[in-house]
A and B are shown apart, each in its own frame.
Chain A
């Protein structure tokens, strides 16, 4: 366990206090591996990468506590040695991704619909709020309802409510056995199949639909997985581990395009996204609940997603979408209703009254 801390909570808090006093915005930085995500902001960088190291890990507690700057890889390796893992299978995108950035962005991987999202595994956090106060919420136990659930609120808030210092996460045992089946299915066929097996105790742990191939990963005890695999039919995918790993890290050629990549989050059985809103085939994960598409029609796509019970965000965009050039940044995330936006702004004010923590990264005014 690395224990060298070059940045202390106190020194970081001091910098935030000064920024609060001077009303000078800060851009909170982990390793920068997800700087493509969210709106562009200009502010003075404050790095937490040096605040690194695992604080506590006891496998039989199913909990790990680590500093925000700890590389995700370090945590994953440590868990792996004990036959455990992070249930939400977070992508790293680079070798240097930190735990803090992972939780702040709240991005989850293929196992998300079946095991839970990043927020579902966060048990407690220590943060620095926008006034430079060091505060601790939640804890290291699985059940905790003392006070409001600030720890989960921090997940996905992209640093705009507080700087994450220490994070406690619930971990899960790695499944004893996994197998992946491939079936030549259309979107419609996938819906029918998943709707059916969703009501049966089938141990699905990931799905992908791409190019009319449906991949289903099953996880659990060997005998149970094998029984489910033969009931589902199709072929066995050889070398499945690297396949899901690549998907999680978005390393397939599909993701390697210089066009605006959109993440559309929908109820799993929602309709197929109309062809005029997207370009070519999409990558459909999470049983239909997470769809990756290229689109130059982001605004319309967002409207469609909202109408269909979800939302759409511009996930990665080397060159901003020209159709949005007049207000490019405004449309990175789906707009909130006026009432929700007003409430979100009051919440921002309550944690960061001077709006110095990653201001405007999520929305203008937050």
Chain B
């Protein structure tokens, strides 16, 4: 937007909004100084930034309702923010819009041991839930690698997963009830403490809606009993094909590991340099497989898995014998992203998901693309559910590298779509992947998404411009894309 116009809108909005907000929101919870706002200009996708008009930090649901009513009345956009660990610029403010920080909603209100649920605030950290219920031998299953920092409200908004979602599901499978505040400021309860609710499955639509449909102000999470036994196994392979086959064979044998991960050679070496976890640095790939359940069950499955691994020439098989050893193997895996930071200033983490059968093929093609674009791509990912996290390493201060990284990212996502996969498995679309939505969905499908959004937010004030592209944007993106001759599969049906 023209900066003069933007500045005048800003002045007008501040003049009308602040007095209205102040009727219910204390002064200290309304941040307007640039140095205060700086902390809110981006999420963990730091290459996109935007200062908000204001940041409001409410601490009661009534205050959230008030903020929404004010913004609705004045036609001012609202972007919710949990902990800001999102990887797709979902919580990045919009120009001259309000940033609604949910961090003060940080209480666990009730733990219901009989029904094994807890009613919590949206700003509660993911790990804090499992910590609070650990004394009862319970835990909250979704475990994104960011679990020490990310909020459960953010998990709901992104339908976050983690290393254990192959067996225990994503956020959508582990929540029962949501309280939300609509853009009109109305409170609504979706789902309930029973296993299902009357009417449409609005929990499903709300989960993963990236703050575009309503503000989550309360969550009933499901709690699971901790397994009696969990063993973690690490195995090395000299070819990617063998590693990929091992994944398919384990699943094909009727075993659902609690976690099934794969790391390529560059990833292994970077992790080993940082963590000294005993990862075999000369392997082309390692897989990490966690088996959990009753002691007997785990022993049974362990011997089946080892037999499969041996049949595929695995080497350096390590099996944890206690929790400390398990933790050591996992801690190294979860440190993958910091480890990659030593290799390049910037790391563009992709999130495409593909059918498992295509793992080796896609991996090989990614390596070819990596050569073509002269950028290192490292694969550390959730292989069991086909969720690839290729990391493109680059230096954003070099404009040419930045361009190449973005183009390469699009090529990789196209590859995922081509083999029957999707552009995002768990990180969401936000602004980062909004163009690639045009590759995955037809115009009619995108229109249907907009119609659904309209049912919740007629004025398009909630996190506008994110997740669902406009058709105009798609037309422009597709034209440019084809124009540059980048469309590698022109015959490909867009689905």
Contacts and interface: CB of A to CB of B under 8 A. Distances in A.
Interface of A: 58-63, 83-84, 106, 112-113, 116-117, 119-120, 129, 133-137, 139-150, 152-153, 155-157, 161, 172-174, 176, 191, 195, 198-203, 220-224, 227-228, 265-270, 286, 289-290, 309-311, 313, 333-337, 339-341, 343-344, 346-347, 349-351, 362-363, 366
Interface in B180-213: 182, 186-190, 192-202, 204-205, 207-209, 213
Nearest to B136: A199
Nearest to B444: A133
A337 B194 CA distance: 16
21 contacts: A60-B357, A61-B356, A62-B251, A106-B196, A120-B172, A129-B448, A141-B421, A141-B422, A142-B166, A143-B385, A143-B426, A147-B445, A150-B205, A152-B172, A200-B225, A201-B225, A220-B294, A268-B195, A337-B189, A340-B188, A343-B188
A156 B249 CA distance: 34
B255 interface: yes
Given A199-B225, A349-B455, A351-B448, A147 B202 contact: no
B422 A146 contact: yes
Contact of A144 (B112, B158, B424, B495): B424
B376 interface: no
Contacts of A139: 420-422
Contacts of B455: 343, 346-347, 349-350
Given A136-B495, A173-B254, A350-B455, A146 B136 contact: no
B205 A149 contact: yes
B114 interface: yes
B173 interface: yes
A156 B116 CA distance: 25
A98 to B, nearest CB: 20
B329 interface: no
A146 B355 contact: no
A350 B452 contact: yes
A264 to B, nearest CB: 9
Given A139-B421, A227-B296, A311-B197, A146 B448 contact: no
A90 B429 CA distance: 33
B204 A199 contact: no
A119 B202 CA distance: 12
A346 B426 CA distance: 28
Interface in B89-140: 112-117, 136-138
Interface residues of B, number: 97
Nearest to B226: A201
A37 to B, nearest CB: 14
Given A310-B192, A340-B199, A362-B199, A116 B169 contact: yes
A142 B251 contact: no
A201 B248 CA distance: 27
Contacts of B338: none
Contacts of A350: 448, 451-452, 454-455
B387 interface: yes
Interface stretch (B17-25, B266-274, B281-289, B435-443): B435-443
Nearest to A265: B194
Nearest to B356: A61
Contacts of A198: 116, 225
Contact of A336 (B199, B226, B428, B451): B199
B449 A61 contact: no
B293 A221 contact: yes
A83 B268 CA distance: 35
B467 interface: yes
Contact of B248 (A60, A143, A144): A60
Contacts of A84: 254
Nearest to A333: B198
Contacts of B249: 60
B445 A137 contact: yes
Interface in B256-281: 256
B84 interface: no
A194 to B, nearest CB: 9
A223 B300 contact: yes
